[in-house]
């Protein structure tokens, strides 16, 4: 099958993980980020920029989400403030970045 070069600007990024609650028990989470699809050159530039944090990178590429709820269980609208609240959870920027990198890149077929 031939490679068809198509400009793909958007990317859905499923983010799956767990956090500890107040009692030390695992609380699983799963949500989807809507992101801008960067080219390899743009990703290389971002990684080389030692001034940009992982959280700042994710703020730059994320444009929306699905399955993020507030404390009452209602859907939480995507906004800079709400995304900052998600990214303020320890380790969350790295988890989001890890899944972004997994989804944005080509992979070898077995």
How many other C-beta atoms are found inside a 10 Å radius of the C-beta of residue 92? 19
CA–CA separation, 66 vs 7, rounded Å?
Answer: 24
Q: CB-hemisphere CA count at 13 Å for 14?
A: 2
Write out the two tokens for 45.
């530039």
Per-residue model confidence as pLDDT tens digits over 70-98: 999 999 999 999 999 999 999 999 999 99
Note the pLDDT tens digit of each residue in 18-36: 999 999 999 999 999 999 9
pLDDT band at 4 (very low <50, low <70, confident <90, very high): low
């Amino acid at each position: 099958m031939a490679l068809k070069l198509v400009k793909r600007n958007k990317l859905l990024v499923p983010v799956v993980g767990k956090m500890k609650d107040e009692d030390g028990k695992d609380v699983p989470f799963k949500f989807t980020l809507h992101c801008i699809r960067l080219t390899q050159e743009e990703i290389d530039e971002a990684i080389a920029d030692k001034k940009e944090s992982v959280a700042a990178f994710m703020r730059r590429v994320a444009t929306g989400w699905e399955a993020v709820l507030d404390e009452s269980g209602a859907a939480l609208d995507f906004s800079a403030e709400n995304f900052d609240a998600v990214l303020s959870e320890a380790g969350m920027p790295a988890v989001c970045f890890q899944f972004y990198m997994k989804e944005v890149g080509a992979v070898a077929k077995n």
